Amino acid sequence: MAKSRPNISIDTPYLIKQIQPKLDNESRRLFGKRILSLGALSMLSGCTLTDEHSVEKMLISVSHWNDKVQAFLFDPNKLAPTYPESMITTPFPFNAYYGQDEIRDIDGDQYVLQLGGHIQHKKPWRLAELALLPQTTQVTRHICVEGWSAIGKWGGVRFSDFLQRIGADTSAKYVGFKCADNYYTSIDMPTALHRQTLLTLTFADRTLPREYGYPMKLRMPTKLGFKNPKHITEIYVTNDYPGGYWEDQGYHWFGGA
C-alpha cells in the first residue's frame, strides 16, 4: 500500500527573508550553514527536488571542474610573491568561523599532533619536537575568499620536509587536517609539497598567538585563507576526498590564490 506523502513545502525565500536581518557582518558565515540546513530540511521533508536544487547541483559540478582546472594550472615551481617586512599588515586581522571570544585555549605542554592514513611513522609529535626541526620564515600575502588580503610573517617547518620525515606516501592524492576548534580541511598533494607550504609555529617572530592558530597552523600562500587550518591536531594522508568545513558548504575545494 502506498503511503501518501505529507504535503509540506518550504517557502525558502520567505525563510531567508526571516533570517536575513540576523545575518549581517559577523554572522555572515552562518548564512551558508543555514542555507545548507534549509536545503537539507526540504530534502528530509520529502519534497521533490526543486529547480533550485538542480541549479545548485549544476553549479557544484562546475565548481568541481574548476578544482581540476586549478590543479592543472598549479605550477609547483611558481612561488607566491614575498614582501619586505616593512609591508607587514598590523594589526593582522583575526578570522575564523566563530568570533574572537570563542578562540580555543590550547595547553602547549599537553598538545600532541596525531598522524594517520598513508604515513609510515605514525608516532605522535609534541610541540617541543616540532620546534627542534629545521625552521624557515616567509613574509607572504594571506588572501581571504572574501576578497581582503593582509601581509604577515610566518615561521616554521617546511611541510614537504615534515612529510618526508614521517614517511608520508606523497603519491597519495590528499592531505587532510583536523583541528582543535572542530575545523577541518584538506589539500592536494602538489600544494602540500610546495616550497612555501609551512607547518607554522611562529607569527612575526614570536610563538604563534592563539588568534592565529596556536600551537600550529598550516600556512600556504598559494591558497585562500580558509584552506589554511589553525590549531591542527591531526594530519592524515589519504586517497579518499576528505572535503572541508567550508568546502562542504559550497566553497571551491582547491581554493587557489
Partner 1 sequence: MPAIALHPLTIRICHWLNAIAVFLMVTSGWRIYNASPIFNFTFPKAMTIGGWLGGGILWHFAAMWLFGINALIYIGVNLYSGRLRHKFFPIRPQQLWADINDALHLKLQHTDLSHYNAVQKCAYLSVMVAIAIAIGSGLVIWNSSQFPLLRELMGGFDNARIVHFFAMVFMVGFVLIHLVMVALVPVTLKSMGFSRPRLFKSVSLKSKSLEV
Instruction: Summarize as ranges the residues that interact with partner 1 (CB under 8 A).
Output: 16, 20, 28, 31-32, 35, 56, 58-60, 62-63, 66, 70, 73-75, 78-81, 141, 143-149, 221-222, 246, 249-252, 256-257
- Coil, strand, or helix at residue 132? helix
Q: Which is nearer to partner 1, 27 or 120 (CB)?
A: 27
Q: Which is nearer to partner 1, 203 or 251 (CB)?
A: 251
Q: How far is the CB of 3 from partner 1 (least distance, A)?
A: 33
Q: How far is the CB of 249 from partner 1 (least distance, A)?
A: 6
Helix or strand run (H / E) with residue 189: helix 189-192
CA angle 227, 231, 233 (to 5 degrees): 100
Q: Which is nearer to partner 1, 67 or 211 (CB)?
A: 67
Q: Which is nearer to partner 1, 214 or 251 (CB)?
A: 251
Q: How far is the CB of 144 from partner 1 (least distance, A)?
A: 7
Q: How far is the CB of 27 from partner 1 (least distance, A)?
A: 11
Residue 169: exposure state from Cβ atoms within 10 A (0-12, 13-18, ≥19)? middle
Q: Which is nearer to partner 1, 215 or 255 (CB)?
A: 255
Q: How far is the CB of 250 from partner 1 (least distance, A)?
A: 4
Q: Using an 8 Å Cβ cutoff, are 255 and 224 in contact?
A: yes
Residue 218: exposure state from Cβ atoms within 10 A (0-12, 13-18, ≥19)? buried
d(CA 257, CA 28): 22
Q: Which residues contact 30 (CB under 8 A, 6 or more apart)?
A: 23
Q: How far is the CB of 234 from partner 1 (least distance, A)?
A: 25
d(CA 192, CA 15): 41
Burial 91-113 (b: 16+ CB within 10 A, else e): ebeebbbeeeeebbebeeeebeb
Q: Which is nearer to partner 1, 61 or 100 (CB)?
A: 61
Q: Which of 154, 156, 162, 54 is nearest to 115 (CA)?
A: 162
